[in-house]
Structure 1
Amino acid sequence: MSKHIGAQMLEFSQNGDDRGHLVVVEGMKDIPFDIARIFYIYGSANDVVRGQHANRKSQFVLINVAGSCKVKVQDGKGNEAVFVLNRPHTGIYLPAMLWKDMYDFSADSVLLCLASEHYDTTEYIRNYDEYIAIIDEEMP
């Protein structure tokens, strides 16, 4: 596992035989939170950028179960990292208060998102300048 600005690549155990592969991901075991919400993104064109927000409380694990995409994360202090998700047995852990952009989707991309919180629109920060101001205020 590699770490950078709070984001962490995860590798999940692969089980399988000549019938195919099976990957199991369990909350509080394979990922560092209980799973409250699951959603997935598919059908995004290569030039589309998804995300473009930070979350006050929610933590995420993103797994590209088919195809590939890139995830750029920023911590609001000038640090950023780009992760390539292209193997269905790897994912990226994103703690709260990281700005995230998902992009460069392959035509067959299915990005599975596991979240620590139920959906709450009030915990989303969708304006980057507002995000930077909050980071500067909360984490001088």
Structure 2
Amino acid sequence: MLIRLIQLQKHGDDRGSLVALEEQKNIPFQIKRVYYLFGTKQGVRRGLHAHRKLKQLAIVMRGSCRFLLDDGKEQISLLLDDPAQGLLIESPIWREMYDFSEDCVLLVLADSYFEESDYIRSYEEFLRVITDDS
């Protein structure tokens, strides 16, 4: 499974830091939706789904969390804890987020508007979909 972390250019001086997000420049798709997760309780897993077509870039704005990514053949777990780095998630990849720090704010950029039919919410269905697509 190819996992791509995108290093975002950080600008700063003694006043602080700034990262600009620009579609088709450092974000490799047109941005149609932006959302963020915060206040996630300890021990809670988020995500627990895959998408049929959606592309996303996840950036931890504050704190940290872990991602479990699964393409049906391989699973990778990684820690996001750098606000100047984005995790590109292509489809179809099963994703779960967990081990949220108390102060975690996770920003997600998506290339499509919300569309329920793009979600695969059952792991068994995910395995069927990727097998059928092979």
- In structure 2, the partner of 1:96 is 91
Report the equivalent of 2:77: 82
Q: What amino acid is the match of 1:126? A: R
Q: Report the TM-score when normalising by structure 2.
A: 0.97
Is 1:22–2:11 an aligned residue pair? Answer: no
Q: Secondary structure at the match of 1:134?
A: helix
Cα distance in structure 2, aligned partners of 1:85 and 1:34? 23
Aligned to 2:129, what secondary structure does the other structure show? helix
The within-5 A match list for 1:1-140 is 5-76=1-72, 78-139=73-134
Distance 1:99 1:59 in 2: 12
Distance 1:60 1:83 in 2: 16
* Ranges in structure 1 where 5+ consecutive residues have no aligned partner: none
What SS does structure 1 have at the residue aligned with 2:53? Answer: coil
Q: TM-score, normalised by structure 1?
A: 0.93
What is the root-mean-square deviation in Å for CA atoms of aligned residues?
0.8
Q: Matches of 1:28 and 1:96 in 2, distance apart?
A: 18
Distance 2:27 2:78 in 1: 17
- Structure 2 residue runs of 5 or longer lacking an equivalent are none
Give how far 1:57 is off.
Answer: 1.4
Tell me if structure 2 keeps the 8 A contact 1:14–1:22.
Answer: yes
The share of aligned pairs that are identical, in percent, is 37
Shift of 1:70: 0.5
Q: Which residue identity lines up with residue 9 of structure 2 in the other structure?
A: S
